[in-house]
A and B are shown apart, each in its own frame.
Chain A
């Protein structure tokens, strides 16, 4: 099966500080991968690089078989819109409603034709969005159990609620790949399990691939087929979740 994500020996630095020092891995379609590692190991940075939000200084990254470093901006957009991203800090638009924020997930699909210029404008807010998008956004909110807060402004939501809005926004993209940076970090244990369960259900049933980082070892083991550990910018462990034992994992944080 073709790889959905391939990273070949990528390196990245902020200024003169090298952050990623040669990271390589490949993710197959439908595969789910968890990413662990201590604070500052470079997990978020790796995720940003995969989306070309940060330039890499060496190596190659491809998404869906296209090397993203050299894509024109329109091609980059059509690649990015297949990836649903959930950021560590949620990154919602504070003054808009939860519903509007979820509807924004449809903006990416709307970049191809010229007529989309106009329909893109309607997606700025739920007030102007078409009823198809409004309905779909409500479905996405419902999947993260947040439909009753649809009208609430994003900056009035709790950390966990915002996290779930961000997840709903990613679902709105109808993505082929979900990349989530600590998606359960601000959720209570039950909501965390639910969200992780939702992700792995999407993998099994909708054929979505998944990369998520976490500090929760049991999430990393239970909700992924495969896990990778990062240690100061390198991958220090990569294996099937069934095959790594707890002792080895503890050593990764040393």
Chain B
């Protein structure tokens, strides 16, 4: 008996692998050079850091933080949370609908829908690639200063994030059960929702939770351009060099982000356990 030869260890193209590693090293060196990365400079500026810390502590002291101020910060923090939550929710919904069409060969036969799929993908990329601060400036211009502009920004951000990952999750689902349903005469639309979406749910939920975490983090900065939330307070304090009270706000933001991240990872584990 003559059997087939053992396949080579490093595939057919070992040279290509080595070249790829060398290329990676060269690119990294080039990028570190261009980014001005310097430990020396970082250590050299420690005096400014110390000044900031000196003026920031102790942050809570009756001469510095009044109860009214603290109250206002709390309201701003709550507003931040509300913006993030509402914006994420609407963004998830729209992102999901767009993802259905951005997902390869999902809603239509692949060859007919190529153009549509490509355009939706581009639209989602546009939402994602324009930075949130830019969206915030645009929305402040359109709907005026305040929380609504921030909410719209979060929404657009979420569409960009979830549109992409929802689409990928639905692409990764094994299509054989959907195929079985279409072999029994089910409409495409029904096979998507009866077979593909249920199989993708854990991924969809996980992505949604990540989107919310991301929204909480970015909603903090939106205030810097007047789009509502606690960022506005932070910015004016920094401008006034009131580092002590700024420190209070940073602490509050830290607490909010931490709580949301903990909750989110708790829910994620719950979803995974039911997997």
A42 interface residue, CB < 8 Å from B?
no
User: Could you tell me the dominant secondary structure of chain B's interface residues?
Assistant: helix
A-B contact count (CB 8 A): 89
In the complex the two chains form, is B190's CB within 8 Å of A105's CB?
A: no
Tell me whether A107 and B180 are in contact (CB under 8 A). no
Q: What residues of chain B lie closer than 8 Å to A80, measured between beta carbons? A: 182-185
**Contact, CB under 8 Å: B177 / A107:** no
Partner among B184, B187, B191, B201 whose Cβ is within 8 Å of the Cβ of A85:
B184
Within 8 A of A (CB), among B154-202: 176-177, 179-187, 189-191, 193-195, 198-199, 201-202
Residues of B within 8 A of A121 (CB): 190, 193
Range class of the A interface residue count: 35 or more
Which of chain B's residues have a CB closer than 8 A to the CB of A51? 183
B183 and A124 contact, CB distance less than 8 A: no
Q: Number of B residues whose C-beta is below 8 Å from A? A: 21
With both chains docked as a complex, state the minimum distance between the C-beta of A250 and any C-beta of chain B, in angstroms: 23
Tell me the complex Cα distance, A109–B185, Å.
7
- A242 interface residue per 8 A CB criterion: no
The yes or no answer to A216 lying at the interface (CB within 8 A) is: no
B184–A81 contact, CB under 8 A?
Answer: yes
How far apart are B114's CB and chain A's nearest CB, in angstroms? 18
Q: Does A229 contact B (CB under 8 A)?
A: no
Could you tell me the distance between the alpha carbons of A104 and B179 in the complex, rounded to whole angstroms? Answer: 12
Min CB distance, A125 to chain B, in Å? 8
Q: Is A93 close to B, CB under 8 A?
A: yes
Contacts of A95 in B (CB 8 A): 198-199, 201-202
B residues in contact with A76, CB < 8 Å? 185
**A39 an interface residue at 8 Å Cβ cutoff?**
no
Residue of A79, A87, A93, A123 touching B198 (CB-CB under 8 A): A93
User: A107 to B190, Cβ gap below 8 A?
Assistant: yes
A80-B183, A85-B184, A96-B198 as given contacts; A91 in contact with B190, CB under 8 Å: no
Contacts of A89 in B (CB 8 A): 176
Pair A107/B179 contact, Cβ less than 8 Å: no
Q: Does A94 sit within 8 A of B, measured CB to CB?
A: yes
Let me know if A94 and B185 touch, CB within 8 A.
Answer: no
- Closest chain B residue, CB of each to CB of A77: B185
> In the assembly, what is the distance between CA of A17 and CA of B32, in Å?
50
Q: Which B residues between 198 and 238 are near A, CB-CB below 8 angstroms?
A: 198-199, 201-202
Beta-carbon contacts under 8 Å, A92-124 to B: 92-96, 104-105, 107-111, 120-121, 123-124
Contact check, A91 vs B187: say whether CB atoms are below 8 A apart.
Answer: no
User: Quick one: given A120-B190, A123-B190, are A91 and B180 in contact (CB under 8 Å)?
Assistant: yes
Give the contacting residue for B185; candidates A78, A91, A93; CB below 8 A.
A78
Name the interface residues of B72-129: CB closer than 8 Å to any CB of A: none
Which residue from A79, A83, A104 sits with its C-beta under 8 Å from B186? A104
Residues of A contacting B176 with CB < 8 Å? 87, 89, 91
Contact with B194, one of A81, A82, A93, A109 (Cβ below 8 angstroms) = A93
What is the bound-complex CA distance between A76 and B188, given in angstroms? 12
- The distance in angstroms between the C-alpha atoms of A16 and B4, with both chains bound, is 22
Interface bits A160-173 vs B (CB < 8 Å: 1, else 0): 00000010011001
Can you name the residue of chain B whose Cβ is closest to the Cβ of A86? B180
The answer on a CB contact under 8 Å between B179 and A83 is no
- Please list 26 pairs of residues, one from A and one from B, whose beta carbons are closer than 8 Å in the complex, sorted by A's number: A53-B183, A76-B185, A77-B187, A78-B185, A79-B185, A80-B182, A80-B183, A80-B184, A84-B184, A91-B179, A93-B177, A93-B198, A93-B199, A95-B202, A96-B194, A96-B198, A104-B195, A107-B181, A108-B186, A111-B186, A120-B187, A120-B189, A123-B194, A166-B180, A169-B184, A173-B185
| Interface residue ranges, A against B (CB under 8 Å) | 51, 53, 76-85, 87, 89, 91-96, 104-105, 107-111, 120-121, 123-125, 166, 169-170, 173
